[in-house]
């Protein structure tokens, strides 16, 4: 089954304790991205990756790191989490059409993170 898998789905942690949210897709998609969703602010892009070893900042990259060593995986790293990073996180992937654009995004089920 074609899917984007995120783990963990739920996490409560404390300020400063490094954590990684994994994202894996089995559709051979080139494009992968991370979003956070907050009430009143909608979905905001954190980082995106056009292909292996190619990553770029989105709108809200501060406090986050990513890596794209393999095509299927795109982990989100919070080196020193803070309470303002409490949010619902989504990973997404797509196969961009020839030319221009992101194409249809396939989303994971979300990871709800609470930082105390």
Residues near another protein (CB under 8 A): 4, 33, 35, 40-45, 48, 56, 58-59, 88, 90, 92, 100-110, 112
Least distance to another protein, CB of residue 71, Å: 19
Buried b (16+ CB within 10 A) or exposed e, 54-86: ebeebebbeebebebeebbebbbebeebeeebb
C-beta closer to another protein: residue 58 or 63 = 58
Alpha-carbon span 78 to 80, nearest angstrom: 6
- Strand-pairing partners, residue 57, are 47
C-beta closer to another protein: residue 3 or 80 = 3
Contact of 36 with 60, CB cutoff 8 Å: yes
Least distance to another protein, CB of residue 99, Å: 9
C-beta closer to another protein: residue 59 or 79 = 59
């Amino acid at each position: 089954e074609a899917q984007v898998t995120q783990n963990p789905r739920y996490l409560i942690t404390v300020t400063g304790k490094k954590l990684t949210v994994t994202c894996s897709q089995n559709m051979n998609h080139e494009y992968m991205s991370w979003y956070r969703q907050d009430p009143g602010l909608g979905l905001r892009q954190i980082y995106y990756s056009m292909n292996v070893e190619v990553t770029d900042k989105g709108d809200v990259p501060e406090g986050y790191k990513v890596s794209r060593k393999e095509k299927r995986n795109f982990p989100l790293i919070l080196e020193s989490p803070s309470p303002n990073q409490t949010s619902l996180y989504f990973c997404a992937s797509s196969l961009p059409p020839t030319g221009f654009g992101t194409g249809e995004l396939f989303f994971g089920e979300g990871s709800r993170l609470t930082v105390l």
